[in-house]
Amino acid sequence: MRTAIYIHFPFCLKKCLYCDFDSSARRELAPPEYVALLLKEMELRQAQLAEPAGSATLYFGGGTPSLMAPELVGRLIDAAAARFGLASGAEVTLEANPGTLSPEKLAGYRTAGVNRISLGIQSFEDRLLSRLGRVHTAGEAIAAFEAARRAGFDNISIDLMHSLPEQSLRQWREALARAIALGAEHVSAYALSVEEGTPFAALLAAGKLPLPEEEEAARMFEATVQLLSEAGYRQYEISNFARPGRHSRHNGVYWRRQSYLGFGAGAHSFLNLDGLGRRWKNDVDPTRYAQAIRRGVLPEEEPEQLTLEQAVSESFFLGLRLLDGLDLARLESRFGGQALAPHVAEAARLEASGALIREGSSIRLAPGMVIVANSVFSRFL
Ligand code: SF4
């Protein structure tokens, strides 16, 4: 059974003002205690699998997994190898907050088996970083990147955000130029999205979050594609750009509806053994998560067996996120022509309107539509 492994570390030094991820600054459990629970969860999950697993990717996400000491990360990598067949050449990514790193720690992660670092830089301007509630400065982020290189990481991804309060197009272009000058292998560039329940949502409602106008935000997206493409990055997903061969193999698993096992409070899992898939989520509350694991119970919630209709729908709107698009012939052999027919008809309408491009049996987003991709995806829901 092929599966990817995701390990969620839900604690942060401080909650960023825009963040609605499953993370908190309360840190109910110390990292060694939390890692002991993760190891136990892996044992419980392995015992439940019907057949041995083989894994080609492991991803530490959060939260702030770089709050874990390298030795703890190493124990988790070893456990993933022993229990879920993590291959020796596997992609092992650790999300890292620049405010939590040191040269020694980075060297420790490399020795422990991490071979890809995803640095949450977000901005190269201290004024914007402080506005976002980030715990690091731009100088610390650049120093962390350079220290990661010196520690032997030849595969570094950086996260950047645009459409920030009072951010101009010129400033965003400068941020992209800084990212290119650093020489990251991979760039994830996201527009700020103001999510319900966050401090940013309250500021927006109070008229205290001066976001760029829609046209300005669109120009920032266009500048992202233009500058990164000119610098040799390939846009392979709506918000993701990579040097040749340096795309995220782990994230590709999500977009292709392949299996992944998630560990930790709030982690999501998806097992696709029947072509349709079953998904579930772990209890998001670290205390309840810990109680369940200590009782020897997997803290699964909201299990869902997908229907044929859901599986087809997901295949379209996830597959179209990839700029290479998807292959209708392959989907037909998986799901059958009858199940596919309404979506194929929708794809034909979108092709006629210029939103999709068809080549042979493949369809993909037309270049001008990437910026409004969500409106295209919604047609397949
Ligand atoms: S560091 Fe990341 S996960 Fe933690 S609060 Fe900030 S954005 Fe959220």
Give me 135's structure tokens.
Answer: 């715990």
318 alpha carbon, distance to own chain's centre: 13
* Cβ contact 264:45 at 8 Å: no
Phi, psi of 236 (to 5 degrees): -105, -10
Residue 194: predicted pLDDT:
96
Alpha-carbon distances of 246 from 154, 157, 187, 249, rounded to whole Å: 10, 9, 10, 8
Q: How many CB atoms lie within 10 A of CB 186?
A: 21
Q: Whose CA is nearest to atom 5 of ligand 1?
A: 15
Question: How far is it, in rounded angstroms, from Cα 319 to Cα 377?
Answer: 10
* Å from CA of 193 to ligand 1 middle: 14
Classify domain 308-380 by CATH architecture. Orthogonal Bundle (1.10)
Ligand 1 pocket mutation, candidates 16, 119, 194, criterion most atoms within 8 A of CB: 16
Question: Across 317-355, where does the E strand assignment appear?
Answer: 326-327
Domain map of the chain by residue range?
4-253, 308-380
* Å from CA of 196 to ligand 1 middle: 16
Residue 103: predicted pLDDT:
98
* Cβ contact 152:192 at 8 Å: no
Convert the pLDDT of each residue in 103-157 to its tens digit: 999 999 999 999 999 999 999 999 999 999 999 999 999 999 999 999 999 999 9
Residue 219's Cβ-count burial label (10 Å; 0-12, 13-18, 19+) is middle
Three-class SS of residue 86?
Answer: strand
* Cβ contact 41:48 at 8 Å: no
Pocket of ligand 1 (CB under 6 A): 12, 15-16, 19, 21, 23, 62-64, 97, 120
* Å from CA of 85 to ligand 1 middle: 30
The CATH class given to the 4-253 domain equals: alpha beta
74-80 own/partner pairs: CB under 8 Å, 24+ apart: 74/111, 74/112, 74/113, 75/35, 75/39, 76/7, 76/35, 76/38, 76/39, 77/112, 77/113, 77/114, 78/113, 79/38, 79/39, 79/42, 80/5, 80/7, 80/42, 80/55
* Cβ contact 47:102 at 8 Å: no
- State if pTM tops 0.85: yes
Residue 381: predicted pLDDT:
83
Convert the pLDDT of each residue in 60-100 to its tens digit: 999 999 999 999 999 999 999 999 999 999 999 999 999 99
* Å from CA of 1 to ligand 1 middle: 33
Question: How far is it, in rounded angstroms, from Cα 287 to Cα 132?
Answer: 28
Residues of the chain with pLDDT under 70: none
Ligand 1 pocket mutation, candidates 8, 9, 11, 12, criterion most atoms within 8 A of CB: 12
Residue 368: predicted pLDDT:
84
* Cβ contact 128:44 at 8 Å: no
* Å from CA of 296 to ligand 1 middle: 30
